[in-house]
Structure 1
Amino acid sequence: MILLDTREFDHPLPLEMAVNAFKKLQGDNVIHMIHRREPIPLFEIIAKNNGRYLCIKEHETLWHIYITRSATRHLEHTDV
């Protein structure tokens, strides 16, 4: 699992970081992105590029987003 903590960065850096990591993602690897907002534009990019994601809101300023290219990988929330 690749941990990508973007909570301290301002837009557009979190989106750019996530897209760059997603481009390099292979096999059944998963990105665990931690963000302070729900990154809706990222979801559109992932979907258009045959990826899958799971987004979990822990509270108003803490979101966990799991991203994979694998069609069979199970995505789930894990504590960090």
Structure 2
Amino acid sequence: MNLTKTIILDVSELEAPYPLLKGIESIHNLKDDEILIFKHRMSPCKLFEVIEKNNLRYKIIKDEENIFEMKIYK
């Protein structure tokens, strides 16, 4: 599969529950040729459930204090 488009979703400045809501919306809109880079200030525990339910894959890019990045794709 050739993944061609990268979408960056930086929710690190948003207050709860908006990071989760924006993440869920972006996951549901993700197309086969897209990669979503999700950036937040903490690990989005509830987002993992949504990723699994939608049969998506993910890779954690960065997990440091106040910096979390994850690549989500089909």
Please classify the TM superposition score into its range, dividing by the shorter chain length.
Answer: 0.7 to 0.9
What corresponds to 1:76 in structure 2?
none
Match of 1:36 among 35, 41, 51: 41
RMSD of aligned C-alpha atoms?
Answer: 1.1
* 1:6 partnered with 2:11: yes
Tell me how many residue pairs correspond in the alignment.
69
CA contact (8 A) 2:43 2:63 kept: no
| Counterpart selection for 2:57 from 40, 43, 52 | 52
4+ residue stretches of structure 1 with deviation over 3 A? Answer: none
Distance in 2 separating the partners of 1:9 and 1:67: 20
**Structure with a larger share of its residues in strand:** 2
Quote how far apart the aligned CAs of 1:63 are.
0.5
| Cα deviation code 1:32-78 (max 9, x no counterpart) | 01100000110111111111111233421001111112xxxxxxxxx
TM-score (norm 1): 0.80
Q: Which residue of 1 aligns with 2:3?
A: none
